[in-house]
Chains A and B, each alone.
Chain A
Amino acid sequence: MPLTPKERMAIPRQQMPERPADVRNRDFNEVNVGFQESLAQLEANRCLQCKDGKCTRGCPVGIDIPGFLEHIAAGDLKSAAELLLSANALPGITGRVCPQEEQCEQVCIRAKGKNGRPVAVGHLERYVADWARENLDMKTLLAPATGLKIAVVGSGPAGLTCAGELAKKGHDVTIFEALHTAGGVLTYGIPEFRLPNKVIDAEVDRLRQMGVKIVCNVVIGRTFTIDELLNEEGFSAIFIANGAGLPIFMNIPGENLKGVYSANEYLTRSNLMRAYTFPKNDTPIVKGEHVVVVGGGNVAMDSVRTAKRLGAKEAILVYRRSREEMPARIEEVHHAEQEGIIFKLLCSPIRVLGSPDGWVKGVECIRMELGEPDDSGRRRPVPMKGSEFTLDCDIVIMAIGTRSNPLLTQATPGLKLNKWGYIEIDDTGATSKPGVFAGGDIVRGSATVILAMGDGKKAAATIDQYVRTKHGLPAVVPPSPS
């Protein structure tokens, strides 16, 4: 018997069960435990089933959110999973790492008012995805094979999504991955305590079952060029999603001392190479007792929480603006605080100090105050003269962003780039080079997993149309999985 709106309104938002902060900050197991069935049903019943679907429009991949919540509330997880997966190929991942508070949950009617709390769409998405992974033999129905080869460059969120969509439409998809393992930033960047590898592996396996080939150790731009893939290797179209680029450093003295890492290097060593198990795994990482991480985004949070788990007595986050301007997800900031991360806000490093043997021994910072808003609309931090102070530390991690990676783009004539070196695309995902499409961070700079996935999904639709037109095939609408 469906609940009345009044009954639904009476249910408070259900808390995501978490492992205790002082236990979880010593290992790499997942922080969030996940909803139990009863919690999930209760939470799903909070949805008022609005007819205007604001949440769905707030979702970059357009999930029918009221639809799948209704199935959860009715206890029909199979239907919930099928509906979810029809729009989103990687729900176990997005349910964990999407900034729902800026998307679907932000526009939720239940978020309105002083005491309003949105429906926990992300937690419920994760719940359904995890249930499906354990209990459902998801045989995605594929459209009849077209025999057309399509290459996807990079196996991160954009590449995986695009590959899955194209496979559903009957195409012969090959993903080229530069590293030795699939997953891109999901594998090398996001730590296991936020996104366990088994979730990524399951999603990748599902793609393989759909016939997607994943070839690792191939660097497009070096091992093959884009032109070779098109002209010699028989690919009808290419989707470039080779991801974020070169780490930015601050250009301050002492940045090349031993013990200064980019967040990319620090996280890659720990996540991809499992350096936290050294010497069981061969890749080393320098574990600091006092670690300073510079930055205020999700990557900075991941780095500082990793440092804590690697045994740092003191893991400090240095950010030049105040908490309000922090780009990191609120949940990550909360989790970091619970785990004992120290926040030094409104200050910025001006020099890394070294010992005579070339190791970091501290970082000199200067305090900031917020001035007029800058281009990003956030108030610009202005250094306060004479406010310098020193933080003693043995590791410094720079998590202040990336710039474009020239490796593929420089080796690809005819590919129009913007002034920052990112690939220019039109509204459909097409680049200036015929047959070549792009999405994710190589287009956007630095964005989120879900925006990259949205790009992959959109480009897949464009690519499908492009190759069918090119080869004179009729448009085929793949049968829905149910």
Chain B
Amino acid sequence: MFRILDTKQLASDVKWFRIAAPLVAKHRQPGQFVILRLDETGERIPLTMAAADPKTGTIELIVKAIGKTTRVLFTKQAGDTIQDIMGPLGRPTEIHKVDHAVLVGGGVGTAVIYPLAKALQDAGCFVTAITGGRTKELVVLEDELKKVSNAVYATTDDGSYGFKGTVADKLRELIAVNRPPSQGEPQGCRAIGVVYCAGPVPMMKAVCDLTRPFGIKTIVSLNPIMVDGTGMCGGCRVTIGGKTKFACVDGPEFDGHQVDYAELWDRLGAYKAHEKVALDRWEHECKIGVGK
């Protein structure tokens, strides 16, 4: 059993959790995730850790309520418990010094790139973070990012806050100013050496389409459906540069220019019908007062 110590609602459907998980916290590195199972009948879902503190033995998760499991998790409060948390899983992010690292987070994808900011700053990078959402309410972690980044831009699709447009639109602007030099050109100011990106699949694809022509190395954190998280089931397989890889042991981070996004997007929808059944059933149970 893993106790929830603290929660904070970040948006109408986004919640932050601090959870006691000392063994995970002790070894966790940026980029890694956990698999959790809420209770005896629960499914196993992967969630990237936004932060961890080995001293207090705690990890932090940011969760968007989408399907049944995340909605049930959303109802949990400080003092509640989670039956199983396994981790840390996945390969840690490879951090190298570059002049300028740009982090791009869409929605709760920002929770994935957030822990990289400090690591990149510590490595001596100038760090720019772009965090976006459809509307103001869905922009998360902006204040937290400001503490560990050199520049932070918030974007909203509807212009209700910050830059009006998508994170990719903002990145396009940034590349126009800070693109890496072409051959023979002098090194420009703060040329972007690497982009880290996490969020919805179409967003990651858009970001990679932008950076590809400039040859900017782009690392994406993928979120396919997983079961065990140790390489045993192969459910999380993704195609990278024409080769099948398992996100749980080979990833979750990959060269974004090599990812088959159409396949990833398609496979993520494999259980749409089941998700609806589970959600409807849970909502009905809540209505009649037997939901957990």
Q: Which residues of A contact B (CB under 8 A)?
A: 178-180, 188, 216-219, 222-224, 243-247, 249, 251, 255-256, 258-259, 261-262, 264-265, 268-269, 273-274, 278-284, 286, 358, 405-407
Which of B41, B88, B266 touches A282 (beta carbons < 8 Å)? Answer: B41
- Cβ–Cβ contact B27 & A222, under 8 A: yes
Indicate whether A278 sits within 8 Å of B274 (C-beta atoms), given known contacts A246-B234, A256-B239. yes
| Complex Cα gap A278–B43 (Å) | 10
- Cβ–Cβ contact B244 & A256, under 8 A: yes
Residues of A near B89 (CB, < 8 A) are 219, 222
The chain B residue sitting closest to A221, CB to CB, is B230
| Complex Cα gap A222–B69 (Å) | 25
- Cβ–Cβ contact A258 & B270, under 8 A: yes
- Min Cβ gap A399→B in Å is 12
The chain B residue sitting closest to A283, CB to CB, is B43
Stretch of B79-87, B117-125, B135-143, B165-173 contacting A (4+ beta carbons < 8 Å):
B79-87
**Residues 255-281 of B contacting A (Cβ, < 8 Å):** 263, 266-267, 269-271, 274-275, 277-278, 281
- Cβ–Cβ contact A405 & B274, under 8 A: no
| Complex Cα gap A222–B25 (Å) | 11
Residues of B near A284 (CB, < 8 A) are 43, 271, 274-275, 278
- Cβ–Cβ contact A217 & B86, under 8 A: yes
B76 within 8 A of A: no
**Would you list 24 pairs from A and B whose C-beta atoms are within 8 A, ordered by A residue?**
A179-B86, A180-B37, A180-B86, A216-B84, A219-B86, A222-B87, A223-B27, A245-B231, A245-B232, A246-B234, A261-B235, A262-B234, A264-B232, A265-B234, A268-B227, A279-B274, A279-B281, A283-B43, A284-B43, A284-B274, A284-B275, A284-B278, A358-B269, A405-B232
- Cβ–Cβ contact A268 & B232, under 8 A: yes
- Cβ–Cβ contact A244 & B263, under 8 A: no
Which of A222, A246, A264, A283 touches B44 (beta carbons < 8 Å)? Answer: A283
Residues of B near A216 (CB, < 8 A) are 84, 86
The chain A residue sitting closest to B239, CB to CB, is A256
Of the four ranges (under 10, 10 to 19, 20 to 34, 35 or more), the interface on chain B belongs to 35 or more
Indicate whether A247 sits within 8 Å of B44 (C-beta atoms), given known contacts A223-B23, A256-B239. no
- Cβ–Cβ contact B41 & A281, under 8 A: yes
- Cβ–Cβ contact B267 & A244, under 8 A: no
B interface, over-half SS: mixed
Residues of B near A246 (CB, < 8 A) are 231-232, 234, 246, 249
| Complex Cα gap A178–B233 (Å) | 13
A interface, over-half SS: loop
- Cβ–Cβ contact A406 & B227, under 8 A: no
| Complex Cα gap A188–B232 (Å) | 10
- Min Cβ gap A274→B in Å is 8
| Complex Cα gap A41–B246 (Å) | 52
| Complex Cα gap A264–B43 (Å) | 16
Residues of B near A255 (CB, < 8 A) are 244
- Cβ–Cβ contact B249 & A407, under 8 A: yes
| Complex Cα gap A274–B39 (Å) | 13
- Cβ–Cβ contact A247 & B277, under 8 A: no
- Cβ–Cβ contact A223 & B244, under 8 A: no
B100 within 8 A of A: no
- Min Cβ gap A181→B in Å is 9
- Cβ–Cβ contact A282 & B234, under 8 A: no
| Complex Cα gap A255–B232 (Å) | 17
Residues of B near A251 (CB, < 8 A) are 244
Residues of A near B88 (CB, < 8 A) are 222-223
Give the most central of A179, A280, A286: most B CB within 10 Å: A179
- Min Cβ gap B25→A in Å is 10
- Min Cβ gap A26→B in Å is 21
Residues of A near B241 (CB, < 8 A) are none
- Cβ–Cβ contact A269 & B84, under 8 A: no
The chain A residue sitting closest to B281, CB to CB, is A279
The chain A residue sitting closest to B249, CB to CB, is A407
Indicate whether A256 sits within 8 Å of B69 (C-beta atoms), given known contacts A262-B233, A265-B233. no
Which of B24, B227, B266, B278 touches A265 (beta carbons < 8 Å)? Answer: B227
Which of B69, B244, B270, B277 touches A249 (beta carbons < 8 Å)? Answer: B244
Indicate whether A224 sits within 8 Å of B234 (C-beta atoms), given known contacts A265-B227, A282-B278. no
Residues of B near A280 (CB, < 8 A) are 41
Give the most central of A222, A249, A261: most B CB within 10 Å: A222
Residues of A near B41 (CB, < 8 A) are 274, 280-282
- Min Cβ gap B57→A in Å is 13
- Cβ–Cβ contact A218 & B233, under 8 A: no
